[in-house]
Structure 1
Amino acid sequence: MKTLASLLCSFSWQELRHHPWRNAAAMVSVMLGVALAFSVHLINASALDEFAQAVRSVGGQPDLELRAGAGLTGGVDEVLLARMIHHSDVAVASPVLELSTYALLPQPNATAAPADQPQRVLLRIMGVDPLQVAQLSPDLLPLPDTSANRLDIFAPATVFLNAAARSRLTGNTLQLQRGMQVAAVQVAGSVRASGAPLAVMDIAAVQDFFDLDNRITRVDLRLRAGVDRAAFVRSLQANADWPAQARLVEPGDALTRMSTLSRAYRVNLTVLALVALFTGGFLVFSVLALSVSRRAPQLALLGVLGLTSTQRLQLVLLEALVLGLVGSVLGIALGGGLAALALRLLGGDLGGGFFSGAAPALQWSWPAALAFAALGVLAALVGAWWPARWAQGLPPAQTLKGLGTAQVNHNHGVLALALLLAGGMMALLPPVAGIPLAAYVSVGLILVGGIAGLPWLVGVVLDRIAPQVAYRALPLLAVERARRVRGSAAVAVSGVVAALSLAVALTVMVASFRHSVTQWLDSVLPADLYVRTATHTSALDAAYFDPAFVQAAQRLPGVQRLSPQRNQQFLPDPNLPAVVLIARPLTGPLSSSLPLTVGPLPIPPGQIGIYVSEAMVDLHGARPGTTLPSLSDHFRALALVESTQPTTFFIAGVWRDYSRQFGTIAMDLADFQRLSGDNRVNDLAIWLEPGVDVNALEHALRDLANRQAGTPGGNAARLMEFGSAREIRATSLRIFDRSFAVTYWLQAVAIGIGLFGVAASFSAQVLARRKEFGLLVHLGLTRRQVLRVVAAEGLAWTSLGALAGVGLGLSVAVVLVHVVNPQSFHWTMELTVPVLRLLALAAAVVAAGTLSAWLAGRAAAGRDAVLAVKEDW
């Protein structure tokens, strides 16, 4: 048994050693597939780990968190805080107030124009009770500097910064934005909390500084020893006087929401990274199938000498195992290096924007490394299974006589049709836990089914071409050979068909998305100039325009019309990320202000019409023609006076929003202001009079901001950002391209592997036909004519492969565009086919295949080709 194992290993080693380039194609494909998938996993895991550490650092370790359920701006009633403080089962109740604003960086050049000044820094503000915070969130405990007074932790307008804020904001004084005002605060010390820039203040100081009355975001609770957490929650909720909007939640729900927010992006990136590994499996199949076909006499001889059919199967699988192991080990090493480099250069963002600004350290995971290495080995073994079965089924005696070979030209038409139908059915299934798992399986079945049907496609096409070249010797010779060995042709091009189809699918998906985003931007950017002061959703309540500024701006010379917009975060479901409530004038035809997909429906009397994005329909069941009770609860909490009759919000339409993945609600600004009493504005859309100088109007708005702040020539002008429709459109498309940069790289790698594989496959096939070329030369064909035949075969095979790849790619693109994207990101788009780019991809495949066949033919049809015939004399 030991001798037999040694023989198998020796035979496999000789095969791998004597054909390094052919086997390198399969090995490199496995390596790149494992490297890309593992690097994407490491980057996302490192970013999530960094975010989790920051959440734990800021949130501490309470037993429960008391939050308001009406919305993120509602806050916790002080009556509930007092109730928790005096509850017999509560040991500690620590109130927390969270918000974000901007800190202005110092101006290095006082004479520079406002547009040239340093940008603001988004700063998270945490208001805490210094006497209680150490027991629940020790990382938020203010640590005064040696020169500061210990009582500064209670002082107004005094902050304590974490390390990230200290590195960005120097000096002992900070300029913080408060509406369109700039107010100074003193830096008195530090906190140990990690994460993004953070400032900690006394909670009463925050309420006074930002004029927030008695608002509290949450209350952290530590229960007394022995108190059952679940029983405590049930006892409170069972009380008749417990508010329905008050929520007692487990700590760390922010981490859960962030994980949910980025999950679809991370899963789709990982699946796309596995594209190369999927292609690698087909290349292993192609390489080993050709190897088995070429070595059929040797395998048959081993069978005659006593090697069983099972041992021949094990021999081929052993070669695949070696390819998979070496490729996976190299892939893990390469993936770790790529992840470390990406984290250093790009942070944990990868273009998605979910972890923007974070630069986490690489979090190596041996279980993940072993799992992705196992995936690489599994891909190689799966790709080798059918070639191994062909080797197992070789009839030794007939094969030695040249009557039996590894037949790969069986008609799998029925199997191909069944796989394609199964793929179509899987595409109709709903997502699982928000992930389009069935759609991914559908893509795999379509690809495998299409490749299984390649022999049938080769036969159908070449059967119709053959009569057209019946009287031309060289083309007839090329077509007839490709026609008679259609199974070998299918094997040779299977890898490139897989790579090309996936490249085509990704190209069509990205082009469709980009085209839809471009049209959407044209629809939602009708004004000439846009002005905003809050560039991040967390700062909407601290960075805003007041009504006096809006009215004065509307009276400026050159302003034809002005449309204000108020944005507010809203949390209808605590288990999902927040949605954005947009309030702006919705007068006139809605088609000119909202890109509606469904509606508008007539609004019933006495109700208020709202328009939801597609994500609201998928995630919150907000369907047209129904009402949204959670929004009624939100406005009841915001109202200055408790309303006896809640307002009913009628969903009158659905609109397309590509900028917010988890939902948007649009309503008329007048209704929002009447119900909430909130007259603040975050964005201004301005239509200009003909011939007005945009730069002059920007300077006028900056001067207006300084005058109203009481500081002519001061810092208030630096609190605004301007952009024309053209500039915003260009910036948005630039962000889009950055978000899909990883997709472009994955697409390039997949098609590169496919081209490398087709070159290796044709080289192997042509080099194995030296006897055939010797016979052709012996019969009178010149070397140039033999090369023309070989090139014609390569052209025929790769043309059919390109045709199949484009067809399969378009089928997969339909699933990606109409199933995967809506199920993952909750928005729809129109299918756009970039014909020129697809033709260029197909032409590259055909050219590479033809050139590689010609180059391999030159080596096989050399001067000694005739001597190869002597082996049969």
Structure 2
Amino acid sequence: MTALLRLVTLPYLRQNPLRVALTILGVACGVAVFVAIRVTNLSTLHAFTETVDAVSGRTQLQVVGEVAGLDQSLYARVRSMPGLAAAVPVVTGYAVAEAYDGELLFVLGVDVLLDRQVRDYRFIASQDNDREALRALFDPATVFLSDTFARRHGLGLGDPLSLLTPRGRHAYTIRGLLAPDGPAKALGGNFIVMDLAAAQLAFQKAGKLDRIDLILQPGVTATAMQEALHARLGDGVKVERPSFRTATVEKMLQSFQVNLTALSMIALFVGMFLIYNTLSSAVVERRRDIAILRAVGAKRAAVGALFLMEGLIIGIIGTGLGIPLGLGLSRLTLYIVSQTLVSIFLVVAIERLMISPGIVLSAVTIGIMASIVSVIIPTREATGVQPVDGLALAQYQVKPRRNWRPLFVPGVIWLSVGCVLSRLQPVGDVPLFGYLSAFSLLCGFSLLMPAAIVGFSWLLRAWLFRLFRAEGEVAADNLQSALSRSSVAAASLMTGVAMVVSVAIMISSFKRTVNTWVDQTVKADLIVSAADPTSGITTVPLAESLARALTEIAGVSEVDALRVLSLQFQGRQITLNVGDLDVFGRHTEYPFLEGEPGTVFAEVTSHDSVIVSENFRNRFGLGRGDTLILPTPEGPRRFRIAGVSLDYSSDQGTVVMHWGVFRRYWTERVVDSVGVFLRPGASPEAVATEIRRRFGSAHRLFIFSNQTFKAEIYQLIDQSFVITYALEVIAVAIGILGIANALYTAVLERQREISVLRALGAFRHQVRKIIMLESGLLGVLGVAVGTLCGNCLSLILIYVINRQSFGWTLRFDFPGWTIAANLTVIFLAALAAGVWPASQASKVRLIEKLRME
């Protein structure tokens, strides 16, 4: 085998460097996209885990409230529990350093005398020794800042630091700088320590704790302590390991990350066509070589192994290049994905790439397996070459023709399987059968491509002759005479086009649905918030008293304050939206799926009733008239579902509650944003100016008009799909490489045919025209069939994968102009892919190729 590789394979590869390079590049791009997405997913979770671990220190268990933190009086009951070595009360939150690009800092409020039992702080600089420095935190205006943040902004000991918190704008003094290890690594070094009481004041959490960190005495198991604390503390309190938060976030991000991984696999799927096309062409080109090998005694198995090794060599080289290329690409995807995560899911600082042996192993496995699958048919063709046929020059040119009928029935079967799979339920939270259904459709349309080429060529043959004379007719015949090669090239482009079309329809449907919902629900004339909507998660809430004070401003009719909380419900994270539903109901056109608006709003404002979103209903099977049990600071409470609405504010499921109901069971008094409704004739600009004048000195307020706020939301939606656009471009690029590869191969295979045409009087420009027409026909076919396939895939994306992943129902919307523009660019790129092969075809030397005639 080694001798055959050296004497047969390597010379062939050296003679066709461009074609081999294109194939390797296609495989490398597919593997690179897969690696980039996997590295991005791992880096995201690692960054969050690192922050949790850094802040947790030596904590073995944490006591947390089901919602809205813990009552501080519980601390004494926890501390007196036998078997505990330490119990440390903690308050956490996020503050904005307004003077330093509005950067977000993670604030840890602790009892400084107790906290050293759980966390280690190493001071780079302080005005006293470490112990005395910690005692200095008793001053509510003192903070310790991470040296990382201080160096970045030129801050030092004794410098003032203005922070924005729910309390408002307040100045602190830096009394110590923390080395970038331990807790100070949290949020990429954007970390502050302050006294527990100062943190409670800053975050409007008087008498409240976020958690209690516990260390156990030797010999005490975590499970036993959990059970004992549950028995002592009762309902409304959870005792969990620090790692539980990471598991919760991982589950929350699962659908988002699985969808990205599935999209990345399409690029590799397109790359498989390149390998198939290259080796299929190699079989045709080297029929004579294969026949000679068989004539001198080589067995079929040896020939098959030779081509299998060629495919493996291409796959291994492509995979080897794809892994480092993927690491480079991951820097871009990491930036894009991190922006999306912060906008939608959680606050996280992703500083470095994380790559594990598992990612490398999976990339190698997938790359090589894709190569093996791609070479099965070419290898089978190679082993079927008979010495007599292979040595007959007359049959050399007609072998590429393939009958479309044998692939037609399997194609229909694959399409049927895809339809059946689309009706199956998800596996856990993963729409596994939805992805398999999409893959089945791609396979089905790919297998139907030979039939499409034959039918397309037959339909256009007369028109091609009228428009382009003999060159058009020859181009149509050439596609059919090498059906296996041309169909694979068209199928590779078709797959990329299908991805573009299906995702474009899905994105347009999502945007139209959400935009309609926003128009129906966001009716306030002004929206006041302490956070920029483009930063995503609201991390700095406002005092409820500020919302009430807004009603005293001239021109303000009424306000609707919104508070967004995260709750655990049946082991999942859900969103609780609290608002003044009396005001909200009068001003909006909130879309209900179950219940009449007037009846629903009357019930939720006067009883312990709530509204749930459509995806909440779909996830948990609870609808109008059912009862759900929500965790509250007063313990679990029952709430009747008054209605089911369309709500796209959270992909985890949303519960909407009236402020009057909320205040019965919750004690916190902060809001995230305030919708301001103006009196007729009032000037929004004048009211906004007055709000800034009254409250701007104490708070950093973002005040948006209705249209500006909606524009910010639409921008966030566009941002969340940036990574999808990048994956589309790569998939289409690989498909266009397939056309260039196929046409270049066609030129090499048909040099004798081209020479005959030249000898019969064809000019060079006519030869170039034939190749360019073939390129154009392949482009038209790929775009046409890809558009049809993309429309079918979009139905799976919208009504199967999206619904099973997020529980939403989207309104189908076909973005005609967007798709037309994209397809025009793709077609022109496919046409351009024929320029180099056409140029090479026009340079074929007649005498050399016809010397045997």
TM-score by length of structure 2 reads: 0.88
The answer for the alignment partner of 2:493 in structure 1 is 496
1:773 and 2:766 aligned = no
Aligned partner of 2:624 in structure 1 is: 624
CA distance in 2, matches of 1:159, 1:300: 82
Could you tell me whether the CA contact under 8 Å between 1:272 and 1:746 is conserved in 2?
yes
CA contact (8 A) 2:526 2:677 kept: yes
SS of the equivalent of 2:186 reads coil
Q: Which residue of 2 aligns with 1:82?
A: 76
Q: Per-residue CA shift, 1:38-82, capped at 9, x if unaligned?
A: 23332332333232222111112323222222x1x1415634x33
For the structure 1 residues 869 and 836, does the alpha-carbon distance in structure 2 shift closer, same or farther, using more than 3 Å as the test? farther
* Contact 1:628/1:651, CA 8 A, preserved across alignment: no
Alpha-carbon distance in 1 for matches of 2:204, 2:550: 24
State the SS of the aligned residue for 2:676.
strand
Q: 3-state DSSP class of the match of 1:636?
A: coil
Displacement of 1:701 after TM fit? 0.9
SS at match of 1:136: coil
1:416 deviates by 1.0
Q: 1:421 matched to which residue of 2?
A: 416
Structure 2 residue corresponding to 1:479, chosen from 463, 476, 480: 476
CA distance in 1, matches of 2:567, 2:122: 25
Say whether 1:11 aligns with 2:8: yes
* 1-structure distance, mates of 2:374, 2:656: 51
> Secondary structure of 2:238's match?
strand
1:781 shift after superposition: 4.7
CA contact (8 A) 1:157 1:205 kept: yes
Secondary structure of the residue that 1:766 maps to in structure 2?
helix
Task: Determine if contact 1:504/1:806 at 8 Å carries over to the other structure.
Answer: yes
Which sections of structure 1, spanning at least 5 residues, go unmatched?
A: 106-117, 639-645, 707-714
Determine if the alignment matches structure 1 residue 800 to structure 2 residue 794. Answer: no
Partner of 2:716: 735
Q: 1:186 to 1:786 in 2, by over 3 A?
A: closer
- What is the distance in 2 between the residues matched to 1:142 and 1:209? 26
Q: Which residue, 103, 106, 110 being the options, matches 1:128?
A: 110
Equivalence map 1:25-424=2 (5 Å) = 25-69=22-66, 71=67, 73-76=68-71, 78-79=73-74, 81-105=75-99, 120-139=102-121, 145-146=127-128, 151-164=135-148, 166=150, 167=152, 171-177=158-164, 179=166, 181-191=168-178, 192-193=182-183, 194-196=185-187, 197-207=190-200, 212-235=205-228, 237=230, 239=231, 242-340=233-331, 348-349=338-339, 353=343, 354=345, 358-401=349-392, 402=394, 405=399, 408-409=402-403, 411-424=406-419
Q: CA deviation at 1:210?
A: 5.3
Which amino acid is 2:628 matched to? L
The worse-fitting range, judged by mean Cα deviation, of 44-53 and 146-155 is: 146-155
Contact 2:578 2:662 in 1 (8 A): no
Residue identity opposite 1:661 in structure 2: D
1:333 CA displacement: 2.0
Match of 1:641 in 2: none
In structure 2, do the counterparts of structure 1 residues 367 and 555 end up closer, same or farther at CA, with 3 Å as the change threshold?
Answer: closer
Are the counterparts in 2 of residues 130 and 142 from structure 1 also a CA contact under 8 Å? no
Kindly indicate whether the alpha-carbon contact (under 8 Å) linking 1:409 and 1:488 is maintained by their aligned counterparts in 2.
no
Alignment map for 1:751-830 (pairs within 5 Å):
751-830=732-811
Residue 554 of structure 2 aligns to a residue in which SS? coil
Write the distance in 2 (CA, Å) between the matches of 1:838 and 1:300: 48
Partner of 1:709: none
State the Cα distance separating 1:120 from its structure 2 match.
Answer: 4.5
Q: Tell which deviates more after alignment, 599-608 or 321-330.
A: 599-608
**Which is further off, 151-160 or 347-356?**
347-356
Contact map agreement 1:35 1:331 (CA 8 A) in 2? yes
Structure 2: which amino acid aligns with 1:432?
V
CA 1:773/1:172 → structure 2, altered by over 3 Å: closer, same or farther? closer
Q: Is the 8 A contact 1:531 1:683 kept in 2?
A: yes
- Preserved contact between residue 28 and residue 322 of structure 2 (Cα < 8 Å): yes
Match of 2:449 in 1: 454
Corresponding residue for residue 444 of structure 1: 439
Of the structure 1 ranges 159-168 and 376-385, higher mean CA displacement relative to structure 2 is found in 159-168
- Measured after TM superposition, the shift of residue 312 of structure 1 is 1.7
User: What CA distance in whole angstroms lies between the structure 2 residues aligned with 1:764 and 1:588?
Assistant: 66
The worse-fitting range, judged by mean Cα deviation, of 294-303 and 834-843 is 834-843
Q: Which residue of 2 aligns with 1:698?
A: 688
Residue type matched to 1:624 in 2? R
- Which residue identity is paired with 1:91? A
Contact 2:610 2:639 in 1 (8 A): no
Supply the distance in 1 between the matched residues of 2:531 and 2:483 (Cα, whole angstroms).
63
Kindly report the root-mean-square deviation, in angstroms, between the aligned alpha carbons of the 2 structures.
3.5
Tell whether the 8 Å contact from 1:501 to 1:810 is kept in structure 2 after alignment: yes
Q: Does 2:674 align with 1:684?
A: yes
SS of the residue 2:845 aligns to: helix
Amino acid at match of 2:142: T
Contact map agreement 2:501 2:787 (CA 8 A) in 1: yes
Say which SS state the counterpart of residue 557 (structure 1) adopts.
Answer: coil
Is 1:24 the equivalent of 2:21? yes
Over 3 Å counting, the alpha-carbon distance change for 1:474 and 1:131 in structure 2 is closer
Q: Decide whether aligned partners of structure 1 residues 689 and 207 sit closer, same or farther in structure 2, where only a CA change above 3 A counts.
A: closer
Say if 1:617 and 1:157 are closer, same or farther in 2 by CA, change over 3 A: farther
Read off the aligned partner of 1:266 and give its amino acid letter.
Q
* Residue pair 1:44, 1:266 contacting (<8 A) in 2 also: yes
Q: CA deviation at 1:390?
A: 1.3
Instruction: Note closer, same or farther for the CA distance 1:691–1:25 as it changes in structure 2 (3 Å cut).
Output: farther
What letter is aligned with 1:543?
Answer: P
Please tell me whether the aligned partners of residues 52 and 242 of structure 2 are also in contact (alpha carbons under 8 angstroms): no
Structure 2 runs not aligned, ≥5 long: none
Worse-superposed segment, 20-29 or 172-181: 172-181
Given the superposition, is the C-alpha separation of residues 204 and 28 from structure 1 closer, same or farther in structure 2, using an over 3 Å criterion? same
Q: CA deviation at 1:325?
A: 1.8
- Alpha-carbon distance in 2 for matches of 1:469, 1:743: 37
Per the alignment, in what secondary structure is the counterpart of residue 307 of structure 1? coil
Deviations 1:763-814 (A, max 9, x none): 2113311222333344455555555444444443432222211111222222
Matched with 2:541 is 543
1:417 shift after superposition:
1.4
Aligned pairs, number: 830
Question: Measured at CA, do residues 164 and 735 of structure 1 come closer, stay the same or move farther in structure 2, by a change above 3 Å?
Answer: farther
**Paired residues of 1:101 and 1:543 also in contact (CA < 8 A):** no
- Structure 1 CA distance for aligned equivalents of residues 831 and 332 of structure 2: 37
Is 2:637 aligned against 1:634?
no
Q: SS of the residue aligned with 1:836?
A: helix
Identity %: 25
Give yes or no for contact 1:57–1:139 (8 Å, CA) kept in 2. Answer: no
Q: 2:265 and 2:50 mapped to 1: Cα distance?
A: 29
Post-superposition shift, 1:149? 5.6
Secondary structure of the residue aligned to 1:227 is coil
SS class of match (1:745) = helix
Measured against aligned partners, the alpha-carbon deviations of 1:689-713 in whole angstroms (never above 9, x if no partner) come to 566544332221122226xxxxxxx
Per-residue CA deviations over 1:643-676 (Å, capped at 9, x if unaligned) read: xxx563324112221x433232222334434554
Check the 8 A contact 2:768/2:841 in 1, yes or no: no
Q: How far apart are 1:220 and its partner, in Å?
A: 2.1
Check whether the contact 1:463–1:483 (CA below 8 A) recurs between aligned residues: no
Aligned counterpart, 2:613? 613
